[in-house]
Amino acid sequence: MKNYKTSEESTIFEALKKIFPDSSNTIIRNLLKKRRVYVDNALIVKAKEIIEKDKTISIHEIIKKSPSGVKIIFEDDDILVINKPEGLLSVPLDEKKTENALSILRNYYSTKNIFVVHRIDKKTSGVMMFAKNQRAIDKLNLMFKNHELKRAYLAIVEGNLKEGEGAWKSYLRENKEYNVHSVENEEDGKIAITHFSVIRRSKNFTYLKLNLETGRKHQIRVHCKDAGHPILGDKRYSPTSSPISRMCLHSYFLEFLHPKTGRKMSFSAPIPQSFKKLGVIKFSND
C-alpha cells in the first residue's frame, strides 16, 4: 500500500492526477472503480468527491494474477515490461506454435496490440520490454537504433578473465545453421560492441557485468567465446555444461526514456536463485 499527502483542497480525481501525472484518465478512474483509493482509511469511489488539504490518500494494491510463464514488472498505456524466465522463447519461431512470451501476453490480455521491441535468447532470463501501440514502437525502435537505451547483463563464464574491464568489438555474421561468428571484413558482418567489467572471480569462473552498445543476435555469447571465456551452459558456443543446468546469462537491467512522457524509466530483474549456487554476487547498475 502506498500513501500520499494532499497539499491542497481538490477533487479526488484531480489529486490522483497530480500523484500519477503520466497515467490516463481511464487508469485514474479504474483506481476508483476497483475500490483501491482510500482517504484517511475511508473508501472513495466518486471522482468528484472533494478532499481537503493534509489528508492521506492510500492506494491499495490488488492481487493480480500474472500470465502463466512470465512475471509482469510494469505496464501502462504504452509499454509492458516483463521478467522472462529461462527456457521461454521471446517470440514465435517461424510458424511453429512453440510457447513464447509474445503469444502468452497477447492471449492473457486478449489483444494483438502488444508488439515486440527487442528480443532476448530463449536460454537467457530477465528484463524484456514490449510496446502497446504504434507510437511507442516507433519511438522505442529509434532509441534502439541510436543506442539510447542502457542494458546490463550478468554472465558467468569459464575460466579467469585477466582484464578487469574493457570492450569487445567485432563484426558478426550468421551462417546457414543460424550460428553467429565474428568476421574480419566489416562488409561481411554487422558491428557489435560489448562493454564488460569483472564483478567477481572464483577458482573456475568469472562473473561479468556486460553492457550492450549494440544489440546483435547472440552478441554476448559470441564475444565471450571469442575472448576465450564462453558462458557456462552455452551449448551452442561451448562444449562445457553448466553446474546449474542452464546457460548463465541474465538480462538484469534496462533503462530508457518513456516513449510518451520522456521520463527516465529503470527496471531490473532479480538475479536467478540458481546463479547464487555458484557464489554470492553483488551487482551495480552504475
For residue 111, being part of any structural domain is answered with no
Domain edge (last residue) among 12, 30, 59? 59
CATH number for the domain that contains residue 218: 3.30.2350.10
- Does 144 reside within a domain? no
In the residue annotation, 54 being an active-site residue is answered as no
CATH of residue 10's domain is: 3.10.290.10
Residue 263 lies in a domain: no
Question: Would you list the DSSP string of 212-223?
Answer: ESS--TTHHHHH
pLDDT digits (tens, 9 = 90+) for 213-232: 998 999 999 999 999 999 99
User: What is the pLDDT at residue 162?
Assistant: 92
Percent of the chain clearing pLDDT 90 (strictly above): 63
Predicted local confidence at residue 66, as pLDDT: 65
Identified catalytic residue from 77, 121, 226, 234: 121
Distance CA(223)–CA(35), nearest Å, equals: 51
Residue 96 in any domain: the answer is no
Task: List C-alpha distances in Å: 132 to 20, 81, 109, 228, 273.
Answer: 19, 11, 11, 40, 31
- Would 215 be classed as within a structural domain? yes
283 pLDDT more than 70: no
The Cα–Cα gap between 192 and 203 comes to 30
Q: Does any domain span residue 195?
A: yes
> Exposure string (b/e) for 214-248, b if CB count within 10 Å is 16 or more?
ebbebbbbbbbbbbebbbbbbebbbeeebebebbb
Sequence length of the chain is 286
Domain count, the chain: 2
Decide if 229 is inside a domain: yes
Model confidence at 267: pLDDT above 70: yes
Range of the domain at 196: 151-251
Q: What is the CA radius of gyration of the chain?
A: 22
Q: Is 157 domain-assigned?
A: yes
Q: What confidence tens digit (pLDDT) does each residue in 251-262 have?
A: 999 999 999 999
Q: Rounded to the nearest 5°, which phi and psi values hold at 175?
A: -95, -175
| pLDDT digit string, tens, across residues 43-88 | 899 999 999 999 999 988 765 556 777 899 998 889 999 999 999 9
pLDDT tens track for 108-166: 888 999 999 999 999 999 999 999 999 999 999 999 888 899 999 999 999 999 999 99
- pLDDT value of residue 284: 60
